[in-house]
């Protein structure tokens, strides 16, 4: 099964991309890097530039139908750029409309807020997103990982890099359930 990782051309928190990417590979699935522009994305270690990664597909050249699930890594700038791109927001919304599982960590839920898919859901994130999530109709909780199995898509969220182990174990198990 192919799993989409949606990231902006720059600003993704590297460990929030690489650890879940490896977890998808370890689960026997195929991670695919999707961005708003072709070429490479620039990852960051907090505010410092880190590695670059090749883009596999752009949001303009693919759709949710091509994937079994979606992962939204964080980083402060990454989801802020994504939520300003109509095609990226529509790509995220399409996963929910198709009933496919979505996982987001740290600041990743900002893109979910913009896609208007948190209403009636319970999720977690980096604490500074709490008000945005509540204003968008979601319930924010301070938990390491939160699974919200509400209609029709399962949403798995996590707070921060320290939660990555639990996040990766949880979302890969939920993605496997959804494909089975």
> Could you list the active site residues?
106
Query: DSSP of 50-108, one letter per residue?
Result: EEEEE--EEGGG--GGG-SEEEE---SHHHHHHTT-HHHHHHHHHHHHTT--EEEETTT
Within 13 A of 70's CA, how many CA atoms are on the CB side? 34
Query: Could you tell me the end-to-end alpha-carbon distance of the chain, in angstroms, rounded to an integer?
Result: 11
178: Cβ–Cβ under 8 A, 6 or more apart, which residues? 68, 69, 100, 101, 154
Asked whether 104 and 124 are in contact (CB, 8 A), the reply is no
- CA 117, CA 111: separation in Å to the nearest integer? 9
**Which residue's structure tokens are 């490479």?**
40
- What are all long-range contacts of 133-139, with beta carbons under 8 Å and residues at least 24 apart? 133/109, 138/113
């Amino acid at each position: 099964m192919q799993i989409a990782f949606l990231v902006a051309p720059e600003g993704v928190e590297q460990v929030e991309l690489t650890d879940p990417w490896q977890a998808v590979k370890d689960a026997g699935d195929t991670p695919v890097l999707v961005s708003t522009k072709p070429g490479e994305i620039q990852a960051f270690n907090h505010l410092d530039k880190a590695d670059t990664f090749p883009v596999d597909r752009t949001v303009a050249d693919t759709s949710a139908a091509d994937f079994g699930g979606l992962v939204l890594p964080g980083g402060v700038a990454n989801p802020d750029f994504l939520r300003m791109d109509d095609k990226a927001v529509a790509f995220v919304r399409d996963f929910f409309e198709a009933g496919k599982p979505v996982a987001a960590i740290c600041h990743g839920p900002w893109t979910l807020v913009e896609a208007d898919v948190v209403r009636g859901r319970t999720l977690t994130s980096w604490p500074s997103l709490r008000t945005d999530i509540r204003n968008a109709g979601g319930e924010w909780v301070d938990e390491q990982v939160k699974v919200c199995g509400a209609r029709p898509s399962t949403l798995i969220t996590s707070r921060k890099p320290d939660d990555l182990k639990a996040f990766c174990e949880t979302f890969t198990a939920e993605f496997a359930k959804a494909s089975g």
